[in-house]
Amino acid sequence: MIEVVVTRKHREAEGIYSFELAPVEGSMLPAFSAGSHIDVHLPNGLVRQYSLCNHPEECHRYLLGVLLDPASRGGSQAMHEHVHEGSRLRISEPRNLFPLEHAAGYSVLFAGGIGITPILCMAERLARIGAPFELHYCGRSAGRMAFIEYIRHSPFADRVHVHVDDGEESQRLDAAQVLSMPADDRHLYVCGPNGFMEHVLGTARERGWAEAQLHREYFAAAAAAPASEAGGFEVQLASSGLCLQVPADRSVAQVLLEAGIDIPLSCEQGICGTCITRVLEGEPDHRDMFLTDAERARNDQFTPCCSRARSARLVLDL
């Protein structure tokens, strides 16, 4: 864990603050790559993941952008209301689950709302190395778009297309037109609300983009199935043979923790992949947003924070 201090808290847009973090001890923070995020341990005990949006060559600081989610489970609310300039926080080292493909001949970046945070870092990196790219930044209005003025005056401003819902029809995003020319060396990166991401990814697939060229990062999980549809099942620990019942209204992670089985948890929504556990027998019901379709098809791992079982029992490598 790394202890940092908040050196600047700034209102970037309606409902969005940026937080600049600097090391308490030492002059530099661990290096990171475009698309990385950190775990932030909040004053209320929660742990949340936030993307790093500054240039990856800047190791004297980390810059975060945090939207106050109306449906906040306590994370964004704590950042907005209880974290101030001078506050000290504990964070993890950066991890990258959304990396750039540096061999790409051309990159198309899409950001929806607060999804600009990892995408901005990617644009900084691509511009610095002279790689060709374009960035499409979409929002409800300019007043709700974080870092918009910085982007408009950035060295890569000529590669940025801003699309706002309350603007003229001519500037609205036409994903079909933007993605009309797939090529083997073109890669797409998208982050934002789930509906926005599915629209961009779905359009890309319709236009013939290969799945390997599509890269995404989710900020929120899809709506879970109602408990009445989830059903109960059993998990067995391979090391001890212990069998535990997972009722319809409890997650596997909750049942394991209540039984004294320690598993790492972070987002608890199936987004970050922290809790991935090997499955030795049985068929998981995958409900995460982290595993790829190919990884899900193997049925040899799952996310116990949100996924369930299609079979009556799962034998876990625990």
* Alpha helix ranges (H) inside 50-174: 75-82, 116-129, 148-152
Q: State both tokens at 109.
A: 């970046």
Q: How do residues 101-156 score in pLDDT, each as one tens digit?
A: 989 999 999 999 999 999 999 999 999 999 999 999 999 999 999 999 999 999 99
- DSSP-based helix, strand, coil % in the chain, nearest 5: 25, 30, 45
Instruction: Say which CATH topology domain 2-96 has.
Output: Elongation Factor Tu (Ef-tu); domain 3 (2.40.30)
- CA distances to 11, 63, 154, 260 from 60, rounded to whole Å, are 21, 10, 20, 40
Question: According to CATH, what is the number of the domain 106-217?
Answer: 3.40.50.80
Taking the domains of the chain in order of start, what are their residue ranges?
2-96, 106-217, 233-316
Q: How do residues 185-228 score in pLDDT, each as one tens digit?
A: 999 999 999 899 999 999 999 999 999 999 998 876 554 454 44
Residue 230's pLDDT band (boundaries 50, 70, 90)? low
Amino acid at 255: V
Q: What is the number of H-type helices and E-type strands within the chain? A: 8, 19
Instruction: Say which CATH topology domain 233-316 has.
Output: Ubiquitin-like (UB roll) (3.10.20)
| Two domains, one topology: 2-96 and 106-217 | no
